[in-house]
Structure 1
Amino acid sequence: MTLNTTLANDKLVQTKKLQQLLAYLNQSSPFYQQLFKGNRVDISTIKSLADLQILPFTTKEDLQQRNNDFVCVSRDQVIEYASTSGTLGSPVTIALTENDLNRLAINEYNSFACADGSATDIYQLMLTLDRQFMAGIAYYMGLRKMGAGIIRLGPGVPSLQWETIQRLKPTAIVAVPSFILKLIAFAKDHGIDLNQSSVKKAVCIGENIRNTDFSYNILGKKITDAWDIQLYSTYASTEMQTAFTECSEGHGGHLQPDLLIVELLDDNNQPVPPNTPGEVTITTLGVEGMPLLRYKTGDICMYHDEPCGCGRTSLRLSPIIGRKKQMIKFKGTTLYPPALFDLLNEIEEVLDFVVEVYPNEVGLDEVLLHLLPTDQTEATDRNIRANLQARLRVSPGIKYITQPEIQKMQFPEASRKAIKFIDKRV
């Protein structure tokens, strides 16, 4: 099959599923029924993917304010309730049916296969598997579908992670990259030879390990310099119920065109060309409980549409450049948290951090860095400040804190993942 034929088939599948979605929303979704009526949308006029631009958007605020109106099924059809983490406001509950759970399993089966997984692998899951965390259940079901071995160990506790690795010999881990650094530090402190372990690959979740040119960022470099391990980056959200996962080429997360339509839009809601930052806007395909149409994620990425070296022809997304609502305008400089994180990870004198943004008395953005330093000396302080000034050209506020203090900031009660950005502007 030629490249053009494959792409044409993908578009045909997406167009057919889009038309099915519109009919389903028009019949079953209180929110979209009202949205279509209010915007005088005639769904019969949507004949192609290009016609998507006629349709209105869905926002995070819509989901937060009218959560129940997005549910398209009766309560007895809901099998699982997941929720967002609430990073950008109040959490949103996502209702999943049996079909949605099956779709979720297929999504992660495809993702692990893309990341060179197979039934011969054993995966140690170093992540939350409770607290309504969709990703945890998705990884578990995808690996079950693949037939791989699964070790459900949960997050944290490097000592227990290494004891289990040495005892059960997993070939792969699923973990947050910054936690992999803690595994590396523990191994070095306790005489564990990383490269003699059974673990040969890691599926990285929740944090960037690459720059937008796909080279490793400082986090990715620190991991791979210490551990000869293959890293696979992922991008997903609870709302989209789908993941973009890298293959071994490491050149972006692959779209699953039968599960999702993705648009990247500029500030005027127009499509951007390849290699140009735009807001990731998604339309879910095949979702039964809470499907979404043109949902604006707030994430800024770029896309690449040339065929990948792995042979796949699907669109690929770059690492997240930033989140639209988290953009910081500080002393005339535009900053995104991921870029700040990369810089702080690079400074040897900084062991850990939390970035806080708040409005000053005239409503402008101020940045305060809560830092856990290697030591409390003047030389360390000078080096940290010099690094920040040289790289940022501006000087944010700095507050040095202790390990217990940063632990409390990063993991408040009921938190599912480490919080490294606190936005007090809203």
Structure 2
Amino acid sequence: METMERGALKKLQYRRLMNTLRRVIGSVGHYRLKMVQADVGIEDIQSLDDISKLPFTTKDDLRDTYPFGMFAVPQHEVIRIHGSSGTSGKPTIVGYTEKDIGCWSEIVARSIAAAGGKKGDLFHIAYGYGLFTGGLGLHYGAEQLGMTAIPMSAGNTDRQITVINDLQPQGICGTPSYMLNLAERMEEKGFNPRQSNLAYGIFGAEPWSEEMRAILEDKWGITAVDIYGLSEVMGPGVAVECQEEQNGLHIAEDHFIAEIIDPSTLLPVEEGKEGELVFTSLTKEALPIIRYRTGDIASLSSVPCSCGRTSIKMSRIKGRTDDMMIIRGVNVFPSEIERLLLQYKELVPHYQIHLKTKGSMDEINLHIELQDDLYNHLGQNLAHENLSRLKSDIKHTIKANCLVNTEITICRPKEIARSEGKAIRVIDWKKQQSNLFS
């Protein structure tokens, strides 16, 4: 499947797309209504290009039909339930049949293999277990590949360190921010993360930059690859980088069709142009999804890869449409600021972006943290003139690259909260203030 000739793959995609459309039209009332409202029928889809005629699905559709209204099979055929984090309300609920779990496990097994994993490896899973798809998704994929899964879940950092030191796993997975936290804690306990047996890491569930990759690879002495997924589409494994190039994520196109649209016009964009990522599932039974607007910003490329896989690749996620900050008319993603900050060796790779309003204008207060050695070298004096120059240089760099002004707050070592899951990079005081008065 991963090296299928493109023409044969397109035929397979079209056949599976038509089967999926018959499933949703026959079993999901919400989709039948959307198709009627869009004035499109299954007979209008004569080729893959016609997918643009189909209506979009959004998170609101899943919330409006909560909990099981989008399921295409009876509940007794659903063998597992997962859901989103639900941080902005109720979680979006997704279900899996036995066949769905089998397909997902195979896709994740392929993803782990692309990252360098192989049968017999010990695989340390530091993603959370539970409704979140990360832990169980990687767990079943690892077992499918013939690995020995170590189901650590997230948190309990000291015990994670003990297991890494004692069991000597070859591979690890988790969020990149937690992997930074884990390495930092190991160093505090007198261990060198580079001296572990780890050879590769599979990181995702949050956007992370090339600069973050370089730091993780240096701290751990590993090959770090990006994995993509979201619960509404399946979970982790929708796309993954290969160890050969680490340059774009191969999409499992035998199971998903990917599109990039302009989030304003909702029209397709040219290959290579950034826009909103849209996915249609091709093999899911319990919760087939049609043109799901992910909110993630990326681009697509069909440039051949040296690994031999023939699937198109998506770029690494730049950010989410709802994460984009508009500062005095300028659009800025947190990942752009991260890329610039992590170039400063004086700083640890932990930061927070505080959004505030001054008068009628929005502004950024960027909280950064000093390396221990520098902090002690400067006599633990945050008012030191060297730090004034550092703040000025960072402000200039961000202004030159992102076209926005920032205020800089320098924090003492360990002052910024560490993550045991997805990192909280942006604190929007404007939203918190409006919630107080709503």
Normalised by the size of structure 2, how large is the TM-score?
0.85
CA distance in 2, matches of 1:90, 1:344: 34
Are residue 421 (structure 1) and residue 426 (structure 2) matched? Answer: yes
> Quick one: distance in 2 between partners of 1:7 and 1:26?
28
The C-alpha deviation readout for 1:206-237, integer Å capped at 9, x for no partner, is: 24454xxxxxx221122223332111111111
Which letter maps to 2:229?
Answer: A
Tell me by how many angstroms 1:179 deviates. Answer: 2.6
Task: Calculate percent identity across the aligned residue pairs.
Answer: 28
Tell me what 1:254 maps to. Answer: 250
Where does residue 268 of structure 1 map in the other structure? 265
The answer (yes or no) to whether the contact 2:199–2:223 under 8 Å persists in 1 is yes
Matched-pair contact (CA < 8 Å) for 1:10–1:258: yes
For 1:280, the aligned partner's letter is: L
| TM-superposed deviation, 1:145 | 0.8
Match status 1:182 vs 2:175: no
**Kept after mapping to 2: 8 A contact 1:63/1:92:** yes
- What residue in structure 2 maps to residue 213 of structure 1? none
> How far apart, CA to CA, are the structure 1 residues paired with 2:116 and 2:37?
46
Change (3 A) 1:254 1:146: same
CA distance 1:91–1:396, shift in 2 (3 Å): farther
Secondary structure in 1 aligned to 2:283?
Answer: coil
Q: Using a 3 Å threshold, how does the CA distance of structure 1 residues 325 and 209 change in structure 2: closer, same or farther?
A: closer
Instruction: Show CA shifts across 1:47-88 (max 9, x none).
Output: 111001111111222222333421222222222221112356
* Shift in CA distance, 189/344, structure 1 to aligned 2, threshold 3 Å: same
Please say if residues 347 and 384 of structure 1, whose CA atoms lie closer than 8 Å, have aligned partners that are also in contact: no
- Alpha-carbon distance between aligned partners in 1 of 2:42 and 2:171, rounded to the nearest angstrom: 46
Q: Is the 8 A contact 1:328 1:365 kept in 2?
A: no
1:20-419 alignment runs, 5 A limit: 20-68=19-67, 69-86=69-86, 90-130=90-130, 132-210=131-209, 217-241=210-234, 242-248=237-243, 249-266=245-262, 267-348=264-345, 350-351=347-348, 352-357=350-355, 362=360, 365-373=362-370, 377-379=382-384, 382-383=388-389, 385-393=391-399, 394-398=404-408, 406-407=416-417, 417-419=422-424
Task: Work out whether residues 124 and 172 of structure 1, in 8 Å CA contact, stay in contact via their aligned partners in 2.
Answer: yes
> Cα RMSD between the aligned structures?
2.7
Q: Tell me the secondary structure at the aligned position of residue 70 of structure 1.
A: coil
Q: 1:98 deviation in Å? A: 2.0
Question: Partner of 1:67: helix, strand, or coil?
Answer: coil
How far did 1:155 drift? 1.9
1:359 positional shift: 5.7
Q: Give 1:347 shift.
A: 4.0
Query: Which has the higher relative contact order, 1 or 2, with Cα contacts under 8 A spaced 6 or more apart?
Result: 2
Shift of 1:399: 5.4
> Can you list the C-alpha shifts for 1:188-214, whole angstroms capped at 9, x where unaligned?
44443444421111111224454xxxx
Q: Count how many residue pairs are aligned between Structure 1 and Structure 2.
A: 411
Partners of 1:294 and 1:423 in 2: how far apart? 30
Residues 116, 200 of structure 2: 8 Å contact kept = no
TM (normalized to structure 1)? 0.87
**Following TM superposition, by how much is the alpha carbon of 1:37 offset from its aligned partner in structure 2, in angstroms?**
1.7
Q: Which amino acid aligns with 2:392?
A: A
> What is the rounded CA distance, in whole Å, between the counterparts of 2:138 and 2:36 in structure 1?
38
Residue range with higher mean Cα deviation, 158-167 or 256-265? 158-167
- Cα contact 2:261–2:267 (8 A) shared by 1: yes
- For 1:264, the aligned partner's letter is I
Q: Give structure 2 stretches of 5+ with no counterpart.
A: 376-380, 432-438
